[in-house]
Amino acid sequence: MKKITRLLILPVLILAMYSCQPSVKKVAETAQTGMANIPEWSKNAVMYEINVRQYTPEGTFKAFETHLPRLKEMGVDILWFMPIYPIAEKNRKGSLGSYYSIRDYKAVNPEFGTIDDFKAMVSKAHEMGFKVMLDWVGNHTGWDNQWIVDHKDWYTQDSLGNVISPVPDWSDTADLNYSNPGLRNAMLDALKFWVKDADIDGYRCDFAGGVPTDFWENARLSLDSIKPVYMLAENQDQMDLLNKAFNSNYGWTFHHLMNEVAQGKKTAMDMDSSLVKTSLTYPVGTYALQFTSNHDENSWNGTEYERLGDAVKTMAVLSFTVPGMPLIYTGQEAGLNKRLLFFEKDQVDWSNLEMQLFYQKLIKLKKEDPALWNGTAGGRLSIVATTLPAKVLAFSREKDKNQILAIYNLSPESVEAIIQLPLSGDYQEYFSGDTKTLEKGSTIKLDKWGYKVFVRK
């Protein structure tokens, strides 16, 4: 009886949450008047993260460039390069060091090639229709960055005047102190350098919450005066970063929830409540980056096959259909099933590209259905109640006359669930191509970790 009661009140509750609270409306209006520029090209974009070191045997820009036609065929839009700058040698971890220990913000790691090689690759990518983003490390530098020699006051120091790391485990980095105007000017100059000189299109900003929000807001204005850029914050806690500086942040909460559901620690009910909460949290026009893997998750927390098991494809489809921009990490399209070493050479095996067709189909769905586009360009999510709320997650998204209905079995057993679809109609299931008439009370059968995405136009 409790389950049935929940099914009846859930759609009403969600509708009320979307439309009523004055405080929510006020936050949205504030965000709307001060929000960062939204590049037109980002409205239905899919991001792809590139680990240059591990991408090819050579580990260079020129070698990576040969993969551009394949990535174009797959359909990705934004190429996010992990840090390409020279890596500090002092206190280096491993033989090659961390990409995030920066020795010089305005140069290229010789391991990858020259700055001219990078510029040529960016030009080639632009000719093919890609946008290019760089990974930016604003919170700290490496220990042999020239700034430490010339401007020790730009760094955080202990009571004895010793420069310190941001956290003990990051012993290969030195913490920057943004109370110094000189540091702010130098950091902004470096950010502008790559937009002006290399024509890049934006930044993914590492540990964005470790840098004052007002710096990012001023930087965004300066960068946009050169060309419209896209800004991604590696952060989820400080939502004020999305007001004027960043277009999106990390969807860590949902990422961890996908892992927990796949491992049987959480259920579909946790998913739907998380999605509703998220819809009330983000400033208008902003959203989360959705991912099942990235460089940190893969190297430190495990491959998606370790974390998600039989739900790998299920969660990938989910990441493409919930609000937000999807991310594909280096090698996921090759079924990458090992943790790439972070401080050493450890090449991706590209011999099996079966997953590339899977991602290509997902990207095609994302691009062709406006209901799935990013931010205000896409449709709002509405939970669709089912008779198995602990196992089955169902939701719809609609934009203009385009509608998708996504249904997921988030359990390791096959199920039959009745869906409480508000509007009847004929839908085509995207992956099978089958057409089905759906109405309130329709029964949906799903294999273990099964999914169906119905499209109605």
Helix (H, G, I), strand (E, B) or coil at 36: coil
Residue 15, pLDDT score: 33
Burial profile 383-420: b = 16 or more Cβ within 10 angstroms, e = fewer:
bbbbbbbebbbbbbbbbeebbbbbbbbbbeeebebbbb
Residue 35, pLDDT score: 83
- The H or E element spanning position 399 is strand 392-399
252: amino acid identity, one letter: W
* Superfamily of domain covering 383-456: Golgi alpha-mannosidase II (2.60.40.1180)
Q: For residue 399, what are the β-bridge partners? A: 402
CATH class of 10-379: alpha beta
Residue 25, pLDDT score: 28
Q: For the residues of 355-372, what is the DSSP string, one character each?
A: HHHHHHHHHHHHHH-GGG
Helix (H, G, I), strand (E, B) or coil at 398: strand
- pTM to 2 decimal places: 0.92
d(CA 348, CA 366): 26
Query: Is there a common fold for 10-379 and 383-456?
Result: no
Measured in whole angstroms, the distance separating CA 64 from the mean position of its chain's CA atoms is: 21
Q: What is the pLDDT of residues 35-76, one digit of tens each?
A: 899 999 999 999 999 999 999 999 999 999 999 999 999 999
CB atoms within 10 A of CB 129: 9
Residue 254, CA distances (Å) to 259, 289, 319, 413, 449 in order: 9, 10, 9, 22, 17
- Regions of the chain with pLDDT less than 50: 1-34
Residue 305: is it exposed, middle or buried by C-beta count within 10 angstroms (0-12/13-18/19+)?
A: middle
Residue 26, pLDDT score: 28
Residue 280, pLDDT score: 87
Residue 457, pLDDT score: 74
**Per-domain boundaries in the chain:** 10-379, 383-456
Question: Residue 423 corresponds to which tokens in the numbers above?
Answer: 């509007």
